[in-house]
Amino acid sequence: MSFRKFCLSTLALIILIMSPIFVKAKESWQHWEDLRWVGLQQFSKGDLDGARKSFELALAQAKSTQPGGEQEATSTYDLAQAYEAEGKTHQAEIYCKRALELEKSISPQNATITLILTSMTDLKRAQGKFADVEKLNAEVDKFLEHAPDKQLVGAAEMDKDGTIKVEIRLDSSGNMTAHGTNAYAVTDPEYKKILMHIGPLKPGEPKVVAPLK
């Protein structure tokens, strides 16, 4: 057998072996996405208990598929927000800290870190721990000094009918250069993508959002 035929045969064998692995990984990712999507819909309808349980299932799926990966970080932060919405600040803080650890290990300069730190600040403020609030604000400032992606997109808010309005801010030099608002009705083809990016969102509650990837 020639070297060329040997290489082609080896490549074909590798593809044959790896194909089922890729298919399984894709199915696992889809299952995680489906679980999270159900949780986000439940959250927006005020079913906080159902949303938390769906986020827990999504987190378990993420851990089994890719421990320590972006899916686990996302689901961990989803759970933190679900607990915060339920008024369970202690549990929310635990999940926020874990989400922060995961995000820092995955992408130390990810804008999502700012969102998590902001959530932790809100939790400490609600507990009346203002010394901790000052420390967290200082950590946010320090992070933003060194992060290449300093700017968040803006704020998102959901109407009673589920429509999501996103205020967009474009900033390239530290000063706002343009802004506008995009609205996404539940029938919009981009609706799922937008809500999956924003995360848990309820009608009437504005939320700061990170840049779209």
| CA 62 vs CA 17, 40, 124, 193: distances in Å | 23, 16, 28, 19
pTM reported for the whole predicted model: 0.81
**Count of other CB atoms within 10 angstroms of residue 60:** 14
Please name the residues in contact with 40: beta carbons below 8 A apart, sequence gap of 6 or more.
51, 78, 195, 196, 199, 200, 201
Q: What is the pLDDT of residue 8?
A: 47
CA distance 49 to 42: 9
Name which of 196, 195, 198, 193 is nearest 209 in CA terms.
198
| CA 38 vs CA 15, 77, 78: distances in Å | 34, 16, 12
Provide the 3-class DSSP secondary structure of residue 157.
Answer: strand
Order across the sheet with 164-171: list the strands. Answer: 176-184, 164-171, 154-158, 207-209
Q: What is the pLDDT of residues 81-109, one digit of tens each?
A: 999 999 999 999 999 999 999 999 998 87
Q: What is the pLDDT of residue 174?
A: 47
The domains located in the chain, with CATH, are 3-150 (1.25.40.10), 151-213 (no CATH)
Q: Which residues pair with 184 in a beta bridge?
A: 164
Q: Kindly give the parts of the chain with pLDDT less than 50.
A: 7-8, 11, 13-15, 18, 21-23, 172-178
| C-alpha 58: how far from chain center | 12
Q: What is the pLDDT of residues 42-74, one digit of tens each?
A: 999 999 999 999 999 999 999 998 999 999 999
CA distance 64 to 84: 25
